[in-house]
Amino acid sequence: MVRELKILSVVLFTVLLVACSSSGSMQLTQAKTAPIPSGKIVALKVGLAPIPDSSYSGATEVTRRLKAQLFGRLVSEGAFRQVVQFDEPADYRMEVLLSDTREVSPGARILLGVMAGANSLNASVTLYDQATSSVVTAFDVEGKSASHPFSTESGLDDAIREAIDKIMLVLQ
């Protein structure tokens, strides 16, 4: 009986610990064909992927936040010298298309705790070289916040940050 209780305690502790941190993943569909030279300009488009029967619950807000944070990080982390709107002249074009989002309401988080799940987003990213009209890299990213209601990483912005971390990892 004592042994089973110890095992159950360890399993429960592990589940709660895992629920306390955000995470992200990335799946390459096309590896980077060439390094991105420093000092280049990228035109950024963040939008919704055309998927039928998808509700895109909260997708407009996620798209807005993702674009705002990505604009800053692409320059601040040295991937590009400047980020411009998608229709402006640039050396590269980047499309980030959101295919799924999930936002857990604060009420659900309070009432259901870890069982409410995580905030999450899935997006496909494609980077094009304007000079050659070729794809430089393409990949899918996922960002998830923590599930635990008392975690400091349980917000929607944490899921967005995780997705952007993966985007930056590929571009570096």
What are 67-76's pLDDT values in tens digits? 999 999 999 9
pLDDT of residue 130: 93
Higher pLDDT, 5 or 96: 96
Mean pLDDT of the chain: 80
Residue 46 maps to a domain: yes
pLDDT band at 19 (very low <50, low <70, confident <90, very high): very low
**Cβ density class 144-165: b for 16+ within 10 Å, e for less:** bbbbbbebebbbbbbbbbbbbb
Residue 29 maps to a domain: yes
pLDDT of residue 58: 64
Residue 113 maps to a domain: yes
pLDDT of residue 75: 94
Residue 45 maps to a domain: yes
Q: How many domains does the chain have?
A: 1
* Residue that the structure tokens 């993966």 belong to: 166
Lay out the sheet containing 23-30: strands in order across.
23-30, 134-144, 120-129, 92-102, 41-48, 82-85
- Record the tokens describing residue 28, joined without a space: 């390459």
Give the separation between CA 50 and CA 168, rounded to whole angstroms: 24
**What is the CATH number for 163?**
3.40.50
What are 133-169's pLDDT values in tens digits? 999 999 999 988 765 555 555 577 788 888 999 999 9
- Percent of the chain past pLDDT 90, that is, above it, reads 41
Q: Which residue segment(s) compose the domain that 110 sits in?
A: 21-171
Give the separation between CA 56 and CA 102, rounded to whole angstroms: 8
- Whole-angstrom CA distances from 26 to 3, 47, 76, 104 are 39, 19, 21, 22
Residues 6+ apart with CB under 8 A from 78: 38
